[in-house]
Each structure stands twice: as C-alpha cells, then as structure tokens.
Structure 1
Amino acid sequence: MQEINYIKGDATAPISKGEKIICHICNDIGGWGKGFVLAISRRWKEPETEYRKWHREKSNFLLGEVQFVRVEQYITIANMIGQRGIKTGSKGVPIRYDAVEKCLEKVCSKAKELGASIHMPRIGCGLAGGKWEKIEPLIIKNLIANDIEVFVYDF
C-alpha cells in the first residue's frame, strides 16, 4: 500500500502528471471567503461561482456532499461540504469528520473514474478547527487503501 506524499508547496499548483483532483473543505452555509478558498479563487473563478450557485439552488447542498468543478484540462476542484457553519460554538469546532469521510468516499469514486491523483492542503485543520490526527486516517482508509495517489501540501 502506498503512503500519503507530504510535500512543501502550493496545492493549487499540483505537481503530478495526468488527471488531478484538488480537494478542500467547504461549509454548509454558503460562505466562501477565508482560508484555502482564497488561493483557489485567485487561480480560478469557477469553483466559487459553482459553489455559490449550488448553495442558492439548495440542490443536495448538504454535509457529506461534493461538487466537482473542472477548471483546466487535467484539473478538477472538489468542493467538499465537511464543515457545519463557520464558528466554534457550543457544538464544538465546525469540522464534521463523518461528513469529511462521506466526501472522501465520493472523491475516491471520482478519482477512480478519471484515473486521477488527489491533491490537498491539510484539509479541515485550519478555520474548520479539525485535527490532522483525525483527518489523516480518513484519507488513508478512503483513498490510500483504494490505491489512489495522494499529495498533501504544506505551504
């Protein structure tokens, strides 16, 4: 079984050849404007436009769902709804690990369909308040164990 490839760099400039899916965590309230999404928006307009449209239409805009947005010939962005709201409150931090796992299952299917590698920052560990010790095993279980090549970028 392969391992996660940890590299220094920018997840919006993935290094491998062939099809690539760039994954990131979104919230379930339609907010887009802080964290890694800013780096995505600097490179491509479509992921934000499609996410906002998805939120407005309320069509399957739920925790655990993923929207795939093609931005270049070999690059697709995965808008993964794995965060409840945007603030830490009485119910804890915004990250929802069960939703992240559902998202990664969908990403696995898409990666197999496209023959794609996966690229991401340390998803869910910034503004969402998650812990990498909980996210990493989900990546291993849902992607690495299914022979999907994964690159995690530390900027």
Structure 2
Amino acid sequence: MPVSFETGDIFATPGLSSYAHGCNCAGAMGKGIAVAFRQHWPAMYEAYRRLCMAGEFAPGDVFVWEEGTVTVFNLGTQLSWRTKAEYGAVERALSEMLREAEVRGVPEIALPSIGAGLGGLEWPRVRVLLEAFGAATPIRLRVCETFVEGVPLAA
C-alpha cells in the first residue's frame, strides 16, 4: 500500500491505534518525539529501558508494546543518543515492524520521519526506504513529514 506523507501531529489524530518511532538502544527517550512516547506510555518506557540496560535491544531490533487497544513499535535505529542512526538499522527495524504488524493484524501505523531528525540521517534517503517498504505491504504507513502540534494528520 502506498505510504502517505502527511502534516500534523500523530498524537492529535483520532482513530489511530498503532504508532512507531525510532529510538536509541541506550535506554533514553529524552528528546524529540520520544519524549511524547515516554509521556503517553510510561510503563512502555520502563520496559524499554530495562531491555536496553540488559543489552537486549540493539540497532535493527523492534520492541513491541501493546497497551489496551494501542500498539507501539519502538524501532532501534541508533546505538545511543550520541551516535547517528544507521540506514541498515532503519531498514532491518522497518522490516521487522511490518512483520510484527502483519502477525498482530495491524492495518495502519503512524510514525514520524524516523532517523532523519535527531538521528541525523538524510530525509530524502529515508523517505525512499519508507516508500519501498510501503509498496511491499498491505499495512498503511502514515508518515508525519511535517509536525504541527495539536493538528490531526492530513495529506
């Protein structure tokens, strides 16, 4: 299914129940959209932190959190907040996320421009990756390309 690149705020969009974001593997969600994920799902953050501290979450891994009707895919895109994200890690994590989403029957996932903000990757290159993965899956990927706080996503 084609990827939609949208403007708005994934957390202000009614009807969404599955989200993804890129994160480091050092147990920190202290900047960017990761802070909002930590605030929305504090128990998820604690479980993620424990995985990282135990050395059980590496670049390319996906930590899936289910809470009520919500599914969150935490994508390991970079080793720590001090290092840049890696294209290979983004690719592996996207592949695993989509596999996990299919198993769980997730029809759509909202996500930011993973790896391209604080992760330091080139957005045009990440966008091409997302387009390729989107074309190969029945799962709708709704990518927030331009963040506008409090405004529902719109193409």
Identify the TM-score tier after normalising by the shorter chain.
0.7 to 0.9
Match of 2:74 in 1: 79
Deviation at 1:110, TM superposition (A): 1.4
- Cα distance in 2 for residues equivalent to 1:15 and 1:106: 26
- Cα distance in 2 for residues equivalent to 1:143 and 1:81: 19
Contact kept, 8 Å, 1:4 with 1:152, in 2: the verdict is yes
Name stretches of at least 5 consecutive residues in structure 1 with no aligned partner.
Answer: 89-93
- Cα distance in 2 for residues equivalent to 1:100 and 1:68: 15
Contact kept, 8 Å, 2:58 with 2:79, in 1: the verdict is no
RMSD: 1.8
- Cα distance in 1 for residues equivalent to 2:8 and 2:55: 35
Q: Percent identity?
A: 28
Matches within 5 A, 1:92-131: 94-116=84-106, 117-131=108-122
Match of 1:4 in 2: 3
- Cα distance in 2 for residues equivalent to 1:52 and 1:102: 21
For normalisation by structure 1, the TM-score amounts to 0.83
Runs of 4+ in 1 over 6 A off after TM superposition: none
Higher relative contact order (CA 8 A, sep 6+): 2
Question: Matched residue of 1:108: which SS?
Answer: helix
- CA spacing shift, 1:15–1:140, aligned 2, 3 Å: farther
- Cα distance in 1 for residues equivalent to 2:49 and 2:5: 31
Deviation at 1:6, TM superposition (A): 2.3
Match of 2:40 in 1: 43
